[in-house]
Structure 1
C-alpha cells in the first residue's frame, strides 16, 4: 500500500508549470482578497469611530459646557442686578441667554440619535426654563427697586431651582464624558486592531512571497538550472551524460525531449565519426591516387618524348628523301605520319604543362601583371603582326600568385582571342580590370566568332574541342589550363553570357595587401597597336 506522501505526489505529478502558476496565483489572490477585506474593515471601523468621536461626542460635551457657562452667566447677572439694582448686570444675563440658546441648538443636533443624551438635554432645558420662568425673567423685567425686592423674595426658590439645574447639567456632562471616554477606548481598540491587521497582512505577504520564491526555485528555476547544467555538460563534450528532469510535468517532458535529442546526436556523432574515418581513408587513397596519376602523367610524357622524337625524325627523313619518288598515296601516308607525330608531341607537351600547374610552379608572391602581360605580348608578337590584331588593356594591378602560371594564363587567353578571330575583320582584344572588396575581376573581350550558349561550360573541360583540327589547330587544352590556373589561385573563371560581339572571358584573382589598403583603381586603357593595321572595334578572348 502506498504512503500518503506518494499519493499526494502522484496526484500532483501531472501538473504543468502553467497549472501550478495558475493555482498559486489564484490562491495568492484569494488570500490577499481576504486580508484586504479585513484591512479595509479595520480601516473603515477606525474611521467611523474617529468621525463619531470628533464630529459628535467631543462637540456634544463642548456644547454642554457652553450651555452651563451661559446659564451661569445668566445667574450671575440676575443675582448682581437683584442685589444692586444696577442695569449693567443685565448685559452678562443677555449674553448668557444668547450663548445658551446657540449651544442648545447645536447640542440638540449632536444628541439627536442618543436617547440618554437626549433625555439629559430635555431635563436641563426643563429645569433651565423653570428657573428662568420663576426667577430670571421676572427679575430682569422689573425696575431697579422692584428687582431688588423680587430677588430678595425669591432668593430661596431661585437658589434651589438653580442648584437642581446645576445638578442636571453635571449629570449630563458626566454622561457625555463617559460616552466620550468610551469612544476614545473603542477608537484605541480599533486602531490597535487595524495595526495588528496590517501587520498580519504584511507577514502574510512576506510568507506568500517566500512561498512563491521557494516554489519557483523548486518547481521552475531549480529544474531549469539543473537541465541547463546538464545541457552544458553535453555541449561541452560529455555526450554520455544523461539528462534527467524534475519539477512540473512540462519541464520533465522538456528534459525527456532534450535527452532524446542527446541520444539522437550521439547516434549521429557515431555515424559522423564512422563517415569521417571512411572519408579520411578515401581522401588518403585519393591523394595517393592523384600523386600516382601525376607521376604517371609526368613520367609517361617524358618517356614518350624519346620514341616520339624518333618517329617524328624518321618520318620527316622519309618525307625529305623519298618525297616525290613514290606514288601520291605513299606521299600522303608519309604526310599523315609526320602530322600525327607532330600533333602527338604537341599534345604530350600540353599535357605535361597541364600536370605541372600547382605542382611544379607553386611560388606565391606579389606579381606585377603589367610586366607579365608585356612579356606575353612580346611572345605573341609574330601572331599579332600576322593577323593585324589590336590588343588594349586597362592598367593592370599587382596580385598574389605564381608568375609562371599567370603568364601561361595570359598567353592562352590572348592566343585564343587571336586564333578564333572573325574572317571579316582583324581581331580586337581588350583586357579590363576592376577591384572590389579585396578581389580583382578581369575581363578579356574580343570580336571573334564567339561561343554558343550550350558550349560555355564545355570549353573548360580538357581536350574538348568545338572545331576540327583543320579549321582551328590546337589540342583543346587551353581554357582547361586557364581554369586550373585561376582556381589554383583561389579565383573563378566563366564565359560572360550577356556579351554578344564575340567572346568575353571573366576571371577573378585575389588582390595583394598593398592594393587593398591603397584602394587602387584602373587608369585609362593603354593601347598596343599592330604596325600598319587600322584600329578595329573591341572584341573578346576566344577558346
Structure 2
C-alpha cells in the first residue's frame, strides 16, 4: 500500500510490504513516473481520473528494483491527508492470473493509445488549418503589399512628373515676371514719353482731333504701364522672400496710413477708426503692409459720394488665428459679385478717371495670404458698404 500526491505524483508514504515487493531502499524518494511504464502524459491523465466512478481498479506495468516488470492490480481511492489530496492505493501482483490481468492492461493501453491518437489527429488537423489560414493570410498581405507598392510607384512617377511640370511652370513665371519688368514695361514708358512730346508740340493748337488722339495715347499708355506693374507685382509674390515673425498689425497699419502717398486724401478726411486692439500676428510685415494699402485705397476709391466716408478696422482672435476686418460705408458689393471680385482683372466699374485701376487689387490680397493659409471673404458693411475679413496666424 502507498499514498501518492495528486498534485505532483510523489510517493510520500509506503508500507513495509510495498518496500519489500518493489525492492527499493526507500520508495518515498521516488515519483510514480519513475516506476510506471506509461508516458508522463498518460500517468498525469490517470492520476486525475483515478478514484472516480469506474476508475478505482486499474492495471499498470511497474518496474521493480531488479529491472523486472510486473503487471500490478491497483485499487485506489481519493482522500485528503494533511491538507492535500492523495491517492490511497492497494497493490497486488497479478502473476498468478496473468492472462486476465494482461487482457485488462492491454485494453487499458489500447484505450489510452486511441485517446492519444485522436488527440494527435485533432492537433494535426488544427495545425493544418492554422497553417492554411496563415498561408492564406500571408498571401493576402503579400497581395495587398504588392498592390500598395505598385500604386506607390505609380504615385511616385506622377509626383515626379508633377514636380517637373511645376518646376517648369515656375521657371516660366519667373521669366514672365522678368519680361514684365523689363520688356513689357519699356514700351509702355516709351509710349508715355512719346505722348508727352506730342502734347508739348501741339501746345495751344486748335487741332482738337490731334489733341484728343494724343490724350488717348497718353492715358492708354499710362494704363498699360500700371497694368504691367500690377501683373509683375502679382507674379513676384511667389519669388519674393517671406520673413515670418511676430509683428503688430497696428504698427504696420499706422506706418502705411501715415506715409503712403496714395492714402493722403484718406488721411485728410480723418476717416480711419480702429475699433478694437489688434492682436499680434505671425506674418511678413511687407505683405501685411501691401494688404492694408490695397484695402484702404479701395475703401477711399469706392466711397459713396452722398455721405462722409468711415473706415473701421477691428480684430478677433480664435483657435490660433487672428481675424482682421476692414469695413466701410461706401458703395458696397452685391452678393453675386463677392467671389468674382477676388479674381484677377475683375472690375465692377469701368476704368475711368474717377475709378482708375486694373482689377488686380483683391487678387493680390488673396495671393499674399495663401502661403499662410489665410482666407478672404466679403460681407456687407455699415450702411450697405463693404466689409472685408481675412485671417492670419496668431503670434507665437
TM-score, normalised to structure 1, is: 0.48
3-state SS, counterpart of residue 305 of structure 2: coil
Using the alignment, how far apart are the partners of 2:168 and 2:184 within structure 1? 23
1:449 is matched with which residue?
Answer: 331
Deviation at 1:484, TM superposition (A): 1.1
Asked if 2 retains the 8 angstrom alpha-carbon contact of 1:361 and 1:402, the reply is no
Does residue 357 of structure 1 match 2:357? no
Aligned to 1:458: 340
Residue correspondence of structure 1 range 247-262 to structure 2 within 5 A: 247=129, 252=132, 255-256=135-136, 259-262=139-142
- Matched with 1:150 is none
Partner of 2:247: 367
Q: Secondary structure at the match of 1:357?
A: helix
Determine if contact 1:422/1:447 at 8 Å carries over to the other structure. Answer: yes
**Alignment match of 1:311 (pick from 166, 184, 191):** 191
**Is 1:292 matched with 2:172?**
yes
Q: 1:419 aligns with which of 301, 321, 338?
A: 301
Aligned to 1:405: 287
* Structure-2 separation of matches of 1:328 and 1:415: 35
Match of 1:492 among 338, 350, 375: 375
Would you tell me which structure has more strand in proportion to its own residues? 2
Shift of 1:463: 1.2
Distance 1:322 1:367, change over 3 A: same
Report deviation, 1:255. Answer: 4.9
* Secondary structure, counterpart of 2:239 in structure 1: coil
> For residue 357 of structure 2, what is the aligned residue in structure 1?
474
2:224 alignment partner, SS class: helix
RMSD between aligned residues: 3.9
Report how far residue 215 of structure 1 moved. Answer: 9.9
Distance 1:302 1:394, change over 3 A: farther
Mapped contact 1:361–1:404 kept (Cα < 8 A)? no
Encode CA deviations 1:362-399: one digit per residue, 9 max, x unaligned. Answer: 22233222211001111254221465633324222332
Paired with 1:265 and 1:284, the residues of 2 have a C-alpha distance of 28
- Which string of whole-angstrom CA distances, capped at 9 and with x for unpartnered residues, describes residues 217-249 of structure 1? 9777xx7xxxxxxxxxxxxxxxxxxxxxx525x
Q: Which residue of 1 aligns with 2:23?
A: none
Unaligned runs of 5+ in 2: 1-44, 57-74, 89-115
Tell me the distance in 1 between the aligned counterparts of 2:122 and 2:193.
Answer: 96
Alignment partners' CA distance in 1, 2:282 and 2:117: 70
Q: Distance in 2 between matches of 1:368 and 1:476?
A: 29
Number of equivalenced pairs: 301
CA distance in 1 between partners of 2:267 and 2:153 (Å): 62
Structure 1 CA distance for aligned equivalents of residues 135 and 335 of structure 2: 57
Q: How does 1:57-136 map to 2 (within 5 A)?
A: none
Contact 1:388–1:426 (Cα < 8 Å) also in 2: no
1:471-529 per-residue CA deviation (whole Å, 9 max, x = no partner) reads: 6221111111111111123322222479883222221111222xxxxxxxxxxxxxxxx
Q: Deviations over 1:67-108 (max 9, x none)?
A: xxxxxxxxxxxxxxxxxxxxxxxxxxxxxxxxxxxxxxxxxx
Could you say which residue in structure 1 is the equivalent of 2:143? 263
TM, length-normalised to structure 2: 0.65
The aligned residue for residue 504 of structure 1 is 387
Larger helix proportion, structure 1 or 2?
1
Structure 1 contact 389–418 (Cα < 8 Å) conserved: no
Q: Distance in 1 between matches of 2:206 and 2:194?
A: 16
Residue of 334, 338, 346 corresponding to 2:226: 346
* Bigger radius of gyration among the two: 1
Question: Given that residues 367 and 401 in structure 1 are in contact (C-alpha distance below 8 angstroms), is that contact kept between their aligned partners in structure 2?
Answer: yes
Shift in alpha-carbon separation, 1:335–1:218, aligned structure 2, 3 A: farther
Report if the CA contact (8 A) 2:263-2:297 is conserved. no
Among 305, 319, 335, the alignment partner of 2:215 is 335
Question: Quick one: structure 1 residues 247 and 500, their matched pair in 2 at CA, closer, same or farther if it must change by over 3 Å?
Answer: farther
Q: Which position in structure 1 is the counterpart of 2:320?
A: 438
Structure 1 unaligned blocks of 5 or more: 1-30, 44-190, 201-209, 224-245, 514-543
Query: Higher relative contact order by CA 8 Å / sep ≥ 6: 1 or 2?
Result: 1
Cα pair 2:329 2:381 within 8 Å, conserved: no
**SS at 2:303's partner residue?**
coil
Q: 1:429 aligns with which of 302, 311, 328?
A: 311
SS of equivalent residue, structure 1 residue 247: helix
Distance 2:254 2:118 in 1: 83
